[in-house]
Structure 1
């Protein structure tokens, strides 16, 4: 019996050493003791956040796999879609299974209507040149771009030269008379 005491003590010492080393490595990895690890999100919040990361088709595919009992396939799909880690994907799919979330369309950022009354300034200067015969006019402004100049040309071609001239004066530093002269040269 005495012959077994020494090996058992050695075995207990090895187990204790491995446990201490494991805890130290875990503490080093998180930067704080394992008992102070980050609090996990509530499962409902985690499920809502996970569902928000999925498009409508991805949402349907993940839930189809969950419904079929293919949790590993659902985790793999979620991992591939989001690029999160395996553990985070596992937790997200588990939360989605425990707390089903309907698909919600992400509200697109409200498209800012371009207001012609207050032109935006661009980091570059745009040059528009119009000529007819020997007469050439140039407008250079950092409030013009291809889109705005295209609208001005469309207005001029449709016969609304006054609106085209007003738009050109709002998006450049020229007078209304100079804008009218420029618009008159746009007859292509």
Structure 2
């Protein structure tokens, strides 16, 4: 009988520790739910809008450049350092921004900015942007003052999501190339 007392005491102590730990965790979860920090935005478009609003214009441009280059880890790191969000929140935000590209909106402007994809005439920038794609021995270049990192990032996102025709149409809209040339360029972007 004495040989069972010590294991029984150990079992009681372990059960009490587990119960106290579970109670502490449930209190933390309840407190964070009450504070609103544990419930992330479930709508990815809203998450992308909120994430883009936390970035400066330069951070926004650099983030989309990294996304366009396929450097997801660098983009997450940039967002993490820029916003002091948690690592998981940064990962989710960058994923939402890649899937649902957002134009930069300055904090001073109260009225919503029209999405550049909805415009009939694309914006012309004071510089020429060069987009280069290659596969094997084949290299294609598109140079236009209607392209920038953000637009090219959206085109690459369309390619990664499998919407090749929309990517080619967007490329022709923001450059002076034909749809056939755009399709050839897009074919080089496909992995």
Measured against the shorter chain, the TM-score band is: 0.3 to 0.5
Higher Cα radius of gyration: 1
